[in-house]
Structure 1
Amino acid sequence: MSPADLIPAPRAVEGPYRTSFVLGTGTAIAAAPGTEGVARWLRTTLGSALGRELPPGVAGAAHTITLRIDPSLQREAYRLSVASGVEIVGGTAAGVFWGAQTLRQLLGPDAYRRACVDPEAWRGIAHQVIEDAPRFAWRGLMLDVSRHFLPKDDVLRCLDLLAAHKLNVFHFHLTDDQGWRIEIKRYPRLTDIGAWRARTKYGHRASELWDERPHGGYYSQDDIREIVAYAAERHIAVVPEIDIPGHSQAAIAAYPELGNTDVIDTTTLSVWDNWGINPNVLAPTDNTLRFYEGVFEEILGLFPAAVSPFVHVGGDECLKDQWKASPAAQARIEELGLADEDELQSWFIRHFDTWLADRGRRLIGWDEILQGGSRAKGRAPVERDEEEGARNERPLDEERRQGVRAPGGETTELGLAPGAAVSSWRGYAGGIAAAEAGHDVVMCPQQQVYLDHRQHGGAEEPMPIGYVRTLEDVYRFEPVPPVLSPEAAAHILGTQANVWTEVMQDRSRVDYQVFPRLAAFAEVAWSALAAPADRDFADFERRMTAHYKRLDALGVDYRPPGGPLPWQKRPGVIGRPIEGAPPNV
């Protein structure tokens, strides 16, 4: 395998020249202090795949893979040098790990298998030097396990796939109307009741089909600890999402007092079995605040700050109809001196913004957390799909800079604590506003990087949802809007692709939607410095020829370039395709 076949593409390659290193039965690993975890990963992963023991060796010796840290390099940068031995030098252990992932690609697709298929195979690598570093610090994938639960082993496999593509953030969407997926010991009904639904809509919500089997599942706290530790060994940060105050019917079904009991009989609610935006939202009461403080206390214990300081609070698609009809909610608005229900939602989010900041954590939320954070009089356009996107949003205009101060803490001009960050999903507008106000931003616009959207306009796509987003479309995605000043652009932490699983019933369907587009996204996040129109898609497509063999070895059920295979289609199950496609920035 040649460095010309690497995905994501490295920044600089010297060579390759003649073959000089062969991974044989005598190959050893020399791990300098701080790289022991990478050495362990190499032994268990490459050693098993290629049938080699890879015992401890002497740094710099022939037939030895030497691992070391050089603090003069950027944190995730690495230099991989191949001569009679291999040396991988990283700015930190993370950089060494990404260099080890590049070594794995150079060794060929058999290096991605779980056991050796040919112990006698010749594993030669040509003399070369690869110097590389990522463009963005946040290179993520959001996986929704609430709409369709994925067992723990599938989550661990997902982490391996992220690592193989040099992605380093796993946004774990754990709660929604359709299921609560994490054990909270002080509130056992969240999983006893909230983790299970009686049946499931099959296809888009307009479909007349139902899967009448009960569906559900959840991760125990030990499962979560295992997932977080497994991710950390692969230098992946896990960011949990607990969605508030909307997308909460599963929690209300488990604890009816969390809902707007003066508007509806919440004791009649069950975990939702359909898709869309649900009107049953949390009541803005002190009881609700204390309840979720208890939830977040356990969350903080399971997701250590050393792994990631961020906690995602959702904050999206909160319909205000019940609050408008609720005497208790209206009294709360009057008590707090708020203008309307938008500011009530902002108050709710700011409460947890301050609560998390007081505990050394950082809130991140979908761009609706900007709603009601100013007393804006005008309405500016927001890029979104009218039906699938949020309602009742208050888009930002120039008057957003007036700001609203949150009780008990300093806020920025958008009414959030200075450390709060925004996931910009309804287009670029929310991210632009947040970055200009000094907030960090993760760009994940649905029009570009929602991988639940269909990959082709053909009728054979299974349950087609949203815009057509081809492999090339994702490859040409640009996370940093050119309208940003250099100062604001510095607040773009990075980017992530989002995977919502309403029409993905199992791992195979997730694979089909995510791959091969995640490979294109990984290159955007790691190495795509050129303007979108200047990126060489033909070269990327050529490199994908080698990468498909890696995905085959990993057992990924990707969408083939020629279209879905017969067993990947879902004839007769309707989706919701959207015609037209907003342009990239």
Structure 2
Amino acid sequence: MNSTDLIPAPHSAYEPLSDARYPLDHRTLLDAGPGTEGAARWLRATVGAATGLPLAPGEADDNRVVLRVDPGIGHRLGPEGYRIAVDGHAIRVDGGGPAGVFWAAQTLRQLLGPDAFRRAPIAARAEWTVPCGVIEDAPRFGWRGLMLDVARHFMPKGDLLAYLDLMAAHKLNVLHLHLTDDQGWRLEIRRYPRLTEVGSWRERTKFGHRDSPLWDERPHGGHYTQDDIREIVAYAAERHITVVPEIDIPGHSQAAIAAYPELGNADAVDTASLGVWTTWGVNPNVLSPADTTLRFYENVLEEVLELFPGTFVHIGGDECPKEQWRASPAAQARIRELGLADEDELQSWFVGHFGHWLAERGRRLIGWDEILEGTALEADPPEGVTAATKEAVGATGLAEGAVVSSWRGYAGGIAAARAGHDVVMCPKQQVYFDYRQAPGDDEPVPIGYVRTLEDVYRFEPVPPELTGAEAERVLGAQANVWTEVLEDRRRVDYQTFPRLAAFAEAVWSPLPPPLERDFAGFQARMTAHYARLDALGVDYRPPGGPLPWQRRPGVSGRPIDGSPPIV
């Protein structure tokens, strides 16, 4: 089977009949066994719509697509593994579980050609063909994620559903939704309606980096109702994607404090005067460590758990300035009451409270690598904190089962893995997709490091410093799409694609000997993949650079690789 155009590249492919092709036509039947009903529905709704083929249910001696769950495949390749065998009689799809059958269906669509990615036929065709042969495939990692920041710039539900389809097309299986931040609260909480009445919109928005003099004077806002979330979660589940919600605690919380000022450190700052933040950066307004704050967020999380059935709940935990806690008599009293050494340990206690609270309800906390601060696991602990104190606080600060999202490089993930905690690798130096894709003045709002398609393709989630047992703690990786300078879907598309295709291969496909990926081969396969993205309507960055409407002339960025800001 000619699999040279598949992305991500399969584990193995075999070509016994390089010129033979199997036809699909209006008489082709779809024979779906138990456990494959979801994949069958998806094939009829998606591939059927693009090809115009009915793919009617039924059995036949030939001219059929056969879907089966095969325990043998599951034992050998895992539940997400699959085998596609195409001969002169049928297309046989065997998955280790329902997810494996679904990922095989994604491969089958690629084999049909780019027009199979459209929503309706563009020309009358008597038949469609698939090359004959055998493919066996399985993912390298169980966590293959994409984080979408819908807090800074809201992404309407339709766009979010479209991104779930794009994730499925690339065999990604975790959508991390960044739902709350200083600039907006995007989730309806029925017990606390002001979180969306007040916290879901801001009066205006900084246009470009926070150093930019430009403003978009239009109010910006939006939120998802609880029924919206149920729909999103169900749509994702049909595509074997888990949605992980993020509710930021204790930093990145000004939108919540604007709605309920008592959540902030009112004895250190006038919280009643705060509105939803209109610019970017690290915000000093953090949550108060009061019992009432803990109860408030427990009530919020009770509703979150009802909406998101997955195991993991992300609580942020990053970029929490300590100045207000240092100035707050109530926070200082809390530190003394708990016998803590400093404000770092107060943050550890804050995170630990919710880690244990979630664990009691059968869930697992996941947070950015700052959740290591103030614990015995901190990779670079502050001076003046004794090992004994940090060990005691660490025992309560990072709950058993807590997972670290390692974003400030690999160090936090390495420290966590060595201490027996699971890790999701998402280092900003490699997989932050708001970062620019090339040097030069044409890149729109150039932020951060240059991270080209090749850079992302060569991303390796498992650092060499880890032993084999420690490496098993790396659940996988995710690409993070922060939206401070991404004001709409087209900008998100531009920053995310085609780099998401490279990332998908890094987390799905095996790392070939000599432990280096073939970028030239990937580029050749991308020729066909660009045509798929065109058919899907993705406004990706072309290989030759941005198109005129993709640029943002005059909008400043902030490169951080030694070059000055671009204005």
> Could you tell me the TM-score, scaled by structure 2's length?
0.95
Please list the CA deviations of residues 439-463 of structure 1 after superposition, one character each: whole Å capped at 9, or x if unmatched.
0000000000000000000111000
Moved more, 43-52 or 119-128: 119-128
| Contact residue 25 and residue 126 of structure 2 kept, 8 A | no
Aligned to 1:53: 54
1:506 to 482, 488, 493: 488
1:246 to 244, 251, 254: 251
1:553 to 531, 535, 543: 535
- The residue identity in structure 1 corresponding to 2:313 is V
Aligned to 1:22: 23
Aligned to 2:110: 105
Please list the CA deviations of residues 247-303 of structure 1 after superposition, one character each: whole Å capped at 9, or x if unmatched.
000000000000000011111000000000000000000000000000000000000
The secondary structure found in structure 2 opposite 1:88 is: strand
The alignment of Structure 1 onto Structure 2 pairs a total of residues equal to 557
| Counterparts of 1:394 and 1:210, CA distance in 2 | 38
| Counterparts of 2:513 and 2:327, CA distance in 1 | 49
Which stretches of structure 1, 4 residues or more, deviate above 3 A after TM superposition? 393-402, 530-533
2:504 to 507, 516, 522: 522
Matched, 1:82 2:86: yes
Moved more, 463-472 or 2-11: 2-11
| Contact residue 30 and residue 64 of structure 1 kept, 8 A | yes
Which structure 1 residue ranges, 5 or more long, are not aligned?
381-392
Query: What does 1:411-430 align with in structure 2 at a 5 Å threshold?
Result: 411=395, 415-430=397-412
Q: Aligned pair in 2 of structure 1 residues 565, 396: CA closer, same or farther (>3 Å)?
A: farther
- The residue identity in structure 2 corresponding to 1:29 is L
Give the superposition deviation at 1:118: 1.6
Please list the CA deviations of residues 144-199 of structure 1 after superposition, one character each: whole Å capped at 9, or x if unmatched.
00000010000000000000000000000000000000000000000000001000
Moved more, 513-522 or 26-35: 26-35
| Contact residue 478 and residue 532 of structure 1 kept, 8 A | no
| Contact residue 33 and residue 69 of structure 2 kept, 8 A | yes
| Counterparts of 2:134 and 2:448, CA distance in 1 | 43
- The residue identity in structure 2 corresponding to 1:463 is V
Moved more, 552-561 or 110-119: 110-119
| Contact residue 375 and residue 400 of structure 1 kept, 8 A | no
Aligned to 1:386: none
Please list the CA deviations of residues 234-255 of structure 1 after superposition, one character each: whole Å capped at 9, or x if unmatched.
0000000000100000000000
Matched, 1:329 2:300: no
| Contact residue 376 and residue 393 of structure 2 kept, 8 A | no
| Contact residue 424 and residue 474 of structure 2 kept, 8 A | yes
Give the superposition deviation at 1:394: 4.5
Please list the CA deviations of residues 213-244 of structure 1 after superposition, one character each: whole Å capped at 9, or x if unmatched.
00000000000000000000000000000001
Give the superposition deviation at 1:399: 5.1
Matched, 1:291 2:299: no
* Aligned sequence identity (%): 68
- The residue identity in structure 1 corresponding to 2:401 is G
- The residue identity in structure 1 corresponding to 2:172 is L
- The residue identity in structure 2 corresponding to 1:273 is T
| Contact residue 377 and residue 416 of structure 2 kept, 8 A | no
Give the superposition deviation at 1:531: 6.7
Matched, 1:370 2:372: yes
Q: Aligned pair in 2 of structure 1 residues 342, 148: CA closer, same or farther (>3 Å)?
A: same
Q: Aligned pair in 2 of structure 1 residues 242, 476: CA closer, same or farther (>3 Å)?
A: same
| Counterparts of 2:498 and 2:538, CA distance in 1 | 9
Give the superposition deviation at 1:404: 2.5
| Counterparts of 2:558 and 2:216, CA distance in 1 | 18
Aligned to 1:340: 342
Matched, 1:404 2:405: no
| Contact residue 374 and residue 393 of structure 2 kept, 8 A | no
Give the superposition deviation at 1:532: 8.6
Give the superposition deviation at 1:405: 4.8
| Contact residue 477 and residue 532 of structure 1 kept, 8 A | no
Please list the CA deviations of residues 46-78 of structure 1 after superposition, one character each: whole Å capped at 9, or x if unmatched.
0001001111011x7311111111123211000
Moved more, 524-533 or 435-444: 524-533
| Counterparts of 1:339 and 1:397, CA distance in 2 | 7
Give the superposition deviation at 1:519: 0.3
- The residue identity in structure 2 corresponding to 1:370 is L
Aligned to 1:208: 213
Aligned to 1:472: 454
Aligned to 1:384: none
| Contact residue 418 and residue 438 of structure 1 kept, 8 A | no
